[in-house]
Amino acid sequence: MANAFKYWQDKKSACKTEYPSLKDIQLMDLHSIAQYLLISDVVRNDNQPRQYRWRYWGTFLTNAFGFEMSGKLIHEAFTDKTHNLIAGAYN
């Protein structure tokens, strides 16, 4: 994880915004830990609560949870209670 944190810090210091965007991150640079990662997108619709879609869901996560979530919204796999806990962590 130290390598991932250093990678993030390097990308953050090189970008002109507060945080690097997805286009700044090369998943292949993190291939040794990619199976443990997830990348989520914020989905905004007018007058609707924010939703979160997992753009990338590592294979370790698929094996651990027993399902693939790449491209899916949080609420598509979890109960309302769990969805609210996960979504709350993003806010």
Can you tell me the mean pLDDT for 64-85?
Answer: 85
Q: Look at residue 64 and tell me whether its pLDDT is greater than 90.
A: yes
Verdict on whether the full-model pTM lies above 0.75:
no
Dump the DSSP string for 2-43: HHHHHHHHHHHHHSSSSS--GGG--GGGGTTTGGG-EEEEEE
At 14-61, the pLDDT tens digits run 888 888 888 888 888 988 888 999 888 888 888 888 888 989 999 999
